[in-house]
Structure 1
Amino acid sequence: MPRTVLVTYGSTYGSTAELARTIGDVLREEGLLVEVRSAGLIRDLAPYGAVVLGGALYAGRWQRDARRFARRHRVALARLPLWLFSSGPLDASAAQRNLPPPPSVRRLVRRLGARGHMTFGGRLDERAEGRLARMIVKSGTGGDFRDVDAVSAWAEDVARELLPLTAPPG
């Protein structure tokens, strides 16, 4: 039986969770078994044959649940096919060019041996809670900068690499 691909994420306001669900949907459409779950809920990676881990970016750092997941599961993640994604720029920069990960995420890519990383635009709107988030939205710099087509294209590339790795032996 093929191993399941875990798509997991750290998301505070739901935008990164939505990107993770999009990635999961694309991987399923490409024929993979997929489970999409919040990083804070995962205790064991034994059931999974590969991982796609994403984190919302706040001041250049991943959201807490994504950071904790990467730290808690670092040994297992280093042994699995792994891709990382970040969500966060509140402008069109991620849609215009391939943005490098911030230093903290770049270290994760290297330490965990991730096969790839992509940064996608983020979303911050009036539904966001918290004083700082409300200030950003009120200043006019919030909005939805996610590019679903770019997310889907990246997920298709990941699926092409994953399909031969998750096929049952023999």
Structure 2
Amino acid sequence: MDYILNKKGIKRPTLDEVLAYDNNILVEKFSATYSCDTSVSKFIFNETKKLFWLFNESNFDKFGNLSIDDSLIILDEMWHTFILFTKDYSTFCHDLFGYYIHHKPTSELEKDTYIKEINSLSKKELLEKKSNEKRPQYEYIYDKLGEETFKTWYLELNEKLNIEGSISIKNITLKDI
């Protein structure tokens, strides 16, 4: 999944400014949808706000497109929930970044093409391909948001919340993350 943007009037808020945004109704909706503790939803929302900030920063750094891979799927789910609150999401984007961050899901054709491609590779080739594709994004996240966020996104969230490709956060508390 990628994001699309209109580059006119881009703002460059600090990470703290983005993290200062709160939306309790969104957090409650996410908690109800995924049967999880509100503190977990707040935590996931904060991580999602970091992702939005990173999308914006990548424009200034001319990094290119960041993608949401399997490890970040829970952040994508929070993004989906936020988009449902259309006015809040639009205001958040415009006030903080100066533009609306559009969500572009991966199409079935894109998924099928990728699956065919990786199925034709040996294990060694597949590991090399994944490493080459993901390394720049991993390094960018690590450099911009630090080791703690990198570990949270790529080790802890995946381990705790994404079990065999399905999201299961029921009965997870913040101390579990």
TM-score bin (small chain): under 0.3
Q: Return the TM-score normalized by structure 2.
A: 0.26
Normalized per residue, the structure richer in strand is 1
Flag the structure with larger Rg: 2
Normalized per residue, the structure richer in helix is 2
Which is bigger in relative contact order (C-alpha 8 A, separation at least 6)? 2
